Amino acid sequence: MLTGIKMSILKAMNLKKYYGSGVKQVKALDEIDLAIEEGEFVAVVGTSGSGKSTLLHMLGGLDYPTEGKVYVDDQDIFNLKDEALTIFRRRKIGFIFQSFNLIPVLNVYENIVLPIQLDGNTIDQEYVDEVIEILGLSEKKESLPSELSGGQQQRVAIARALASKPAIILADEPTGNLDSRTSHDVISLLKITSEKFGQTIVMITHNESIASLADRVIQIEDGRIVNYVRKTNNLLSNIIRAEDRKAGEKVD
């Protein structure tokens, strides 16, 4: 038996998402083929309107494609019925989006452990406490979301995604509302948990220093993958600078 070979935990095959028809048709995603290995940390970059967020939503089963398939652990997720897909997402995928989606009547701690409780699983208290401490939320566990700053709410959303130790974490600009020091701590935590628990991370970012920490950088333009970067190099810097020049030309 061959050893040391990592399996693809997340695959997209001929993934398309079209809006409208005829001359007004918009190809948000166009013939995306992608395989992501278990434990891999992948950064997705591209200009505004390139299709980054659409891809993330498709990979997480939050939206249905016009055509194509997404496999998570060899499960064709779009073959699942709505309720089964919801449960599958909750157990396999942790989401970190710019909209925090916190429950306003629950305090910080309750928001963080909610996905674990919904599945009836035992809370790994030591691990959850470690996540909370690293994210600087130890003094805010009893606070409601309305009592937190935007950056603090983002940290709660990140802690919630990590708390259930999902196989896959999909993150859309997870450090967008954080200062540079906290951003570094958050990405360090993501890398630590990825290595410790074999978690796979797919993250959208415009931050060059954050993208440089990834195992692989994927560039998307006009709904298509146009570049793979395996290691940090000058090409990555050129990609990020090109994005900055084009910023504001399109809207995601």
pLDDT tens digits, 216-248: 999 999 999 988 777 544 445 555 555 555 555
Predicted pLDDT at 3: 44
pLDDT cut 70: percent of the chain above it: 88
Which structural domain, as residue segments, surrounds residue 129? 8-246
Largest CA distance in the chain: 56
Is residue 3 in some structural domain? no
Is residue 2 in some structural domain? no
More reliable by pLDDT, 236 or 100: 100
Please give the Cα distance from 214 to 205 (Å, whole number).
11
Is residue 251 in some structural domain? no
pLDDT band at 1 (very low <50, low <70, confident <90, very high): very low
Is residue 252 in some structural domain? no
Predicted pLDDT at 252: 52
pLDDT in tens, 168-212: 999 998 877 777 777 777 787 778 777 777 789 999 988 777 888
Predicted pLDDT at 231: 57
The CA-atom distances, in angstroms, between 16 and each of 5, 32, 54, 126 are 29, 7, 10, 42
Is residue 96 in some structural domain? yes
Is residue 1 in some structural domain? no
Predicted pLDDT at 245: 59
Average pLDDT over residues 107-113: 97
pLDDT score of 134 more than 60: yes
CB 216 within 8 A of CB 229: yes
Average pLDDT over residues 96-115: 92
Is residue 58 in some structural domain? yes
Residue 232's CATH number: 3.40.50.300
pLDDT in tens, 135-171: 889 999 999 999 998 888 988 998 999 888 899 999 9
Domain count, the chain: 1
CA 187 to chain CA mean position, Å: 12
Is residue 15 in some structural domain? yes
Predicted pLDDT at 242: 55
pLDDT in tens, 26-76: 999 999 999 999 989 999 998 888 999 999 999 999 999 999 999 999 999
Please give the Cα distance from 192 to 198 (Å, whole number).
10
- What are the b/e assignments for 146-172, b being 16+ CB within 10 Å? eebeeebbbbbbbbbbbbbbbbbbbbb
**What's this model's pTM, rounded to 2 decimal places?**
0.82
